[in-house]
Amino acid sequence: MTERIVRGRILTFRDDPRLAGARAWRLVNNGAVAIRGGRIAAVGEAGEILANAPKDAVIDDHSGKLVLPGLIDAHIHYPQTRVIGSYGAQLLDWLNKYTFVEEQKFADPAHSASVARFFLDELFRQGTTTACVYCTVHPASVDAFFAEAERRGARMIAGKTMMDRNAPPGLMDTAQSGYDETQALIARWRGRGRLDYAITPRFAVTSSEAQLEASGALAAEHRDAYVQTHLDENFAEIAFVKRQFPWAKTYLDVYARYGLLGPRSIFGHCIHLAESEVAALASSGSVAAFCPTSNLFLGSGLFDKKRLDDAGARVALATDVGGGTSYSMLTTAAEGYKVLQMGGQSWPATQAFYQMTLGNARALSLQDRVGALESGREADLVVLDAHATPAMAHRMESHEGDLEEELFVLMTMGDDRAVRQTYVAGRAAKGA
Ligand code: GUN
Ligand code: ZN
């Protein structure tokens, strides 16, 4: 089996720098990663790795550039590639005016397949190698996405959105058909290669109690499958949920009632949380996905990371394309930094890069597989260049050799131009 050696400045996290300080990461300036059979075989000093490499090893020399684990996006909608950047509406109007119109096109399997190809090309171009993905209500949209992810050998989590009210007829299932279709998709795709399934009741606005109950039954039957939905994103949404579920004390109460909280549950947005919701997220081990570009673009509000951190709740970072305006996790981190600044919190670049890699891997319970450059892990890597544009190179001139400055430049000024290469299961995937 041919071995590939990726040379560069190897940076990987072992812990959260917020808790462990500088012990949290390891940097090998003249380093290399040896890859065999889609997995990391060894990581260390380039001299040592090269000395032990077979003669026919392929060597990709990215000396001077940073090599990190592939970036992870904890919440994104693949059917919204033509919704991104839609003008002038907040959440509920934006869904009705743009999103629900576009999502109806995924009844056509050929359309689903072509968008899935574009979407994965784009993620890899941006250095993202794993994502937790919403498809549409159509099972064919899920088949198209998983088939394309499987073809490319990528680690992906995805699910069919379930919606049985407050949506156009072309986008609705029923409690029963949503349950049956999800069961069939789980049977077809879950655990196949690097794929996993997320049970996906879109949000409490578009699901009846019967559908949420069916979602809870699916989660109980498939304990290791994921659950993904939206929570406390927008005031009109929250008021709508209150009207639909008058018995619920809070929005999260609705999901809790149907057994949808837990360590594999990812709640998008989590902006306007009551104190009891913060406590329930923390005690259940649920994950709050911070979607800064989306929260700003849709005028939804400012995420309070410190409040969740202080409560011991798990947090992830996500683009939420197409409410989000960028596929780039670097740009997403930059906007996250600004949102946190607005709340009097700042976000060191080491913490942001931890979050985009090991932090999001932990949030998705994938830390034994991806998110770190350690032998035995799957070989998903990104190569980043902090000198990618004239303005970045100029900014770097006074800070050469300072890792924290370099990471901060990458995050505040970087995007796809800073991504030199992306490796998915050991294969070069940017522009492949
Ligand atoms: N809430 C329910 N569906 C969606 C969606 O597609 N995007 C966002 N941002 N919020 C939602
Ligand atoms: Zn979303």
Query: Hey, CA dihedral for 15, 17, 23, 27, is it positive or negative?
Result: positive
Q: What pLDDT shows up at residue 431? A: 79
Q: Which numbered ligand comes closest to the C-alpha of 94?
A: 1
CA dist., res. 128 & res. 330, Å (int): 10
| Closest to 330 measured CA to CA, from 400, 256, 394, 417 | 417
| Per-block mean pLDDT, blocks of 10 residues, the chain (432 long) | 92 98 97 98 98 96 98 99 96 98 98 98 98 98 98 98 98 98 98 97 98 98 98 98 98 98 98 98 99 98 98 98 98 98 97 98 98 98 98 95 96 98 97 76
Is the shortest distance between the CB of 202 and ligand 1 below 6 Å?
Answer: yes
Distance 230 CA to ligand 2 centre (A): 6
Is the shortest distance between the CB of 211 and ligand 1 below 6 Å?
Answer: no
Is the shortest distance between the CB of 320 and ligand 1 below 6 Å?
Answer: yes
CA dist., res. 222 & res. 316, Å (int): 22
Q: Which numbered ligand comes closest to the C-alpha of 267?
A: 2
Is the shortest distance between the CB of 230 and ligand 1 below 6 Å?
Answer: yes
Beta bridge partners of 10: 28, 67
Is the shortest distance between the CB of 277 and ligand 1 below 6 Å?
Answer: no
CA angle 298–216–185, rounded 5-degree value:
80
Is the shortest distance between the CB of 77 and ligand 1 below 6 Å?
Answer: yes
Name the closest-CA residue to atom 11, ligand 1.
Answer: 230
Other C-beta atoms lying within 10 Å of the C-beta of residue 412: 18
Q: Which numbered ligand comes closest to the C-alpha of 103?
A: 1
Distance 380 CA to ligand 2 centre (A): 24
Distance 414 CA to ligand 2 centre (A): 24
Q: What pLDDT shows up at residue 400? A: 86
Alpha-carbon separation of residue 354 from 39, 82, 387, 425 (angstroms): 21, 30, 21, 20
Is the shortest distance between the CB of 267 and ligand 1 below 6 Å?
Answer: no
> Which of 81, 228, 233, 290 is the best mutation target for the ligand 1 pocket, counting ligand atoms within 8 Å of the beta carbon and taking the most?
233
> Which of 136, 141, 230, 294 is the best mutation target for the ligand 1 pocket, counting ligand atoms within 8 Å of the beta carbon and taking the most?
230
Distance 92 CA to ligand 1 centre (A): 8
Distance 339 CA to ligand 1 centre (A): 19
Q: What pLDDT shows up at residue 78? A: 98
Q: What pLDDT shows up at residue 223? A: 97
Distance 16 CA to ligand 1 centre (A): 29
| Closest to 404 measured CA to CA, from 354, 345, 359 | 354
Q: What pLDDT shows up at residue 322? A: 98
* Cβ-based burial of 318 (10 A; exposed 0-12, middle 13-18, buried ≥19): buried
Beta bridge partners of 315: 288
Which amino acid does the sequence have at 163? M
Distance 113 CA to ligand 1 centre (A): 22
Is the shortest distance between the CB of 152 and ligand 1 below 6 Å?
Answer: no
pTM over 0.95: yes
Q: Identify the three-state secondary structure at position 41.
A: strand
| Closest to 420 measured CA to CA, from 60, 119, 5, 27 | 60
Answer yes or no: are the C-beta atoms of 76 and 321 closer than 8 Å. Answer: yes
Q: Which numbered ligand comes closest to the C-alpha of 323?
A: 1
| Closest to 137 measured CA to CA, from 111, 113, 110, 169 | 169
Question: Which atom of ligand 1 is least distant from the CA of 291?
Answer: 9
Is the shortest distance between the CB of 203 and ligand 1 below 6 Å?
Answer: yes
Question: Which atom of ligand 1 is least distant from the CA of 294?
Answer: 9
Contacting residues for 378 by C-beta, under 8 A, at least 6 apart? 38, 39, 40, 155, 194, 369, 370, 425
* Token pair in block for residue 53: 């490499």
Check residue 430 and give left, alpha or beta (phi > 0: left; psi -120 to 50: alpha).
Answer: beta
Q: Which numbered ligand comes closest to the C-alpha of 320?
A: 2
Q: What pLDDT shows up at residue 70? A: 98
